[in-house]
Chains A and B, each alone.
Chain A
Amino acid sequence: MAERASFLVEARGVSVALGGTLALDRASLRLEPGPRTVVLGANGAGKSVLLRTLHGLIAPTAGVVAWGDVDGRPARQAMVFQRPVMLRRSALANIGYALAVNGVAEPQRSRRAAAALARVGLTALAGRPARVLSGGEQQRLALARAWSLEPEVLFLDEPTASLDPGATAEVERVIASFAAEGTRIVMTTHNLGQARRLADEIVFIHAGRVTERTAADRFFVQPGSTEASLFLQGEIPW
Chain B
Amino acid sequence: MFEIFASLGEALALIGGADPALAGIVVLSLELSLAAAVAGAAIGLPLGALIAVGRFPGRRTLIVTLNALLGLPSVVVGLVVYLLLSRAGPLGSLGILFTPAAIVVAQTLLVAPIVAALARQVAEDAWREYEEQLTSLGVSRLRAVPTILWDARFSLLTVVLAGFGRAASEVGAVMIVGGNIDGVTRVMTTAIALETSKGDLPLALALGAILILVVLAVNAGVFAIREWSARRHG
Main SS class of interface, B = helix
B138 contacts which chain A residues (CB < 8 A)?
A: 101-102
Interface centre among B134, B139, B154, B234 (most CB of A within 10 A): B234
**B130: Cβ under 8 A from any A Cβ:** yes
Digit string of B90-126 for contact with A (CB within 8 Å is 1, else 0)? 0000000000000000000000000000000000000
Stretch at the interface among B11-19, B77-85, B145-153: B145-153
A132 contacts which chain B residues (CB < 8 A)?
A: 232-234
**B196: Cβ under 8 A from any A Cβ:** no
Taken together as a complex, chains A and B put the C-alpha atoms of A57 and B135 apart, in Å, by 7
Digit string of A48-88 for contact with B (CB within 8 Å is 1, else 0)? 00001001010000000000000000000011010011011
A89 contacts which chain B residues (CB < 8 A)?
A: 150-151, 233
Given contacts A97-B147, A132-B234, contact A102 B133 (CB under 8 A): no
List B residues 134-163 near A (Cβ within 8 Å). 134-139, 143, 147, 150-151, 153-154
Taken together as a complex, chains A and B put the C-alpha atoms of A139 and B18 apart, in Å, by 57
**B3: Cβ under 8 A from any A Cβ:** no
Main SS class of interface, A = mixed
**B182: Cβ under 8 A from any A Cβ:** no
**B132: Cβ under 8 A from any A Cβ:** yes
Taken together as a complex, chains A and B put the C-alpha atoms of A161 and B153 apart, in Å, by 30
Point out the residue from B133, B136, B139, B234 that lies within 8 Å of A88, measured CB to CB: B234
The reply to whether B133 and A101 contact each other, CB–CB distance below 8 Å, is no
Report, as a range, how many residues of chain B touch the other chain: 10 to 19
List B residues 32-70 near A (Cβ within 8 Å). none
Point out the residue from B133, B136, B143, B233 that lies within 8 Å of A131, measured CB to CB: B233
With both beta carbons as reference points, the residue of chain A lying nearest to B154 in the complex is identified as: A88
Point out the residue from A52, A88, A102, A129 that lies within 8 Å of B137, measured CB to CB: A102
Q: Quote the shortest CB–CB distance from A39 to chain B (angstroms).
A: 17
Digit string of A93-111 for contact with B (CB within 8 Å is 1, else 0)? 0000110011000000000
Digit string of A22-65 for contact with B (CB within 8 Å is 1, else 0)? 00000000000000000000000000000010010100000000
Taken together as a complex, chains A and B put the C-alpha atoms of A220 and B153 apart, in Å, by 49
With both beta carbons as reference points, the residue of chain B lying nearest to A85 in the complex is identified as: B133
Taken together as a complex, chains A and B put the C-alpha atoms of A130 and B151 apart, in Å, by 12
Q: Quote the shortest CB–CB distance from B45 to chain A (angstroms).
A: 16
The reply to whether B136 and A55 contact each other, CB–CB distance below 8 Å, is yes
Interface of A toward B, CB cutoff 8 Å: 52, 55, 57, 78-79, 81, 84-85, 87-89, 97-98, 101-102, 129-132, 145, 149
CB pairs A–B below 8 angstroms (16 shown): A52-B132, A57-B132, A57-B135, A78-B136, A79-B136, A85-B130, A87-B151, A88-B154, A89-B150, A97-B147, A101-B138, A101-B139, A102-B138, A129-B232, A131-B234, A132-B232
Interface of B toward A, CB cutoff 8 Å: 129-130, 132-139, 143, 147, 150-151, 153-154, 232-234
Q: Which 5 A-B pairs have the closest CB atoms?
A: A131-B234, A85-B133, A132-B234, A129-B233, A79-B136
Identify 14 new A-B residue pairs, CB closer than 8 A, beyond the known A81-B132, A85-B129, A130-B234.
Answer: A55-B136, A84-B133, A85-B130, A85-B132, A85-B134, A87-B130, A88-B150, A88-B233, A97-B147, A98-B137, A101-B143, A131-B234, A132-B234, A145-B137
